[in-house]
Amino acid sequence: MRLLFLGDVVGRPGRRALAAFLPRLMARESIQFVIANGENASGGKGIDPRSAEELYESGVDVVTTGNHVWQNRDIIPYMRETDRLLRPLNFARDVPGLGWTVQTARRSDVRVGVLNLIGRVFMPPAECPFRAGAEAVEELRRHSSVIVVDMHAEATSEKVGMGRFLDGKVSAVFGSHTHVQTADDVATGTVIVQGGIVDVDEATGRASAIRRVRERVEV
Ligand SMILES: [Fe+2]
């Protein structure tokens, strides 16, 4: 199967760019499942229920978040009712919401596990993402061969570390939070939709290919 990860969707320009561009990208690339980090989809900081719904309408299957997830309080009751909007699993125990989910792709019957983790380097306190990630992946593998991780973190090294830690156990580990890909481009002017497309063997859950998505969209 082919899946797409996008991050981070920032404010109205980000939501509009996805509404305009995502259906085209999905058709062009035969994408069956879309994960987007939406923690800053509302006003550039936080996410509210309406913005989450907008992302789903654009084609996103699962929305992941991070350190700004609680910026809009409206998201707390909404998060208790949905299993498509995640918050980092390694937040303090008993905070609202889910840290992982298993969803069926819209255009096929493949089940995809999505895990949301947050880093600790140059970030507010959280439980160990490696310990939480290892336990969650063990559980997720009982439900799905295809597993994608959003490692929401500041330091490239910590994201790469998680990639190596989960290598062979999950289909892909993506890094979010920095708003630009590690090419460190400065986001000015035209909106840039950024992410990655992964081809996954449905039987084994192993990734066979990954490509960068980086498209300028006029909105
Ligand atoms: Fe963040």
Q: Which domains does the chain carry?
A: 2-217 (3.60.21.10)
Using the mean position of ligand 1's atoms as its centre, give its distance from the Cα of residue 180 in Å.
12
Write down the pLDDT at residue 30. 95
Average pLDDT rounded to a whole number, residues 116-132: 97
Question: What number is the average pLDDT over the span 177-184?
Answer: 73
The mean pLDDT value for 31-47 works out to: 95
User: What's residue 15's pLDDT?
Assistant: 96
Question: Which amino acid, one-letter code, is at 28?
Answer: R
Given this model, what pLDDT does residue 187 score? Answer: 60
What is the pLDDT averaged over residues 28-39? Answer: 96
Distance 178 CA to ligand 1 centre (A): 7
Rg (CA), the chain: 16
The catalytic position among 68, 143, 152, 177 is: 68
Please check the confidence at residue 176 and state whether its pLDDT lies above 60: yes
The beta-strand segments (E) located in 96-206 are: 100-104, 111-118, 146-152, 172-176, 191-200
Nearest to 196 by CA among 176, 166, 218, 168: 176
Across the chain, which distance is largest between two alpha carbons, in Å? 45
According to the model, what pLDDT value does residue 20 have?
Answer: 96
pLDDT band at 52 (very low <50, low <70, confident <90, very high): very high
What pLDDT is recorded for position 184?
Answer: 53
- For residue 185, pLDDT over 80 is answered with no
Element (H, E) at 213: strand 207-217
Ligand 1: centre distance to CA 40 (Å): 8
The string of pLDDT tens digits covering residues 151-168 is: 999 999 999 999 999 999
Ligand 1 midpoint to CA 38 (Å)? 9
Measure 8 CA to ligand 1 centroid, in angstroms: 8
What is the mean pLDDT of the segment spanning 57-84?
Answer: 96
Question: Is residue 73 predicted with pLDDT exceeding 90?
Answer: yes
The tokens describing 56, both together, are: 């789903």
Catalytic residue check, 68: yes
* Average confidence score pLDDT of the chain: 94
Is pLDDT of 183 > 70?
no
CA 188 to ligand 1 centroid distance, Å: 19
Q: pTM score, two decimals?
A: 0.88
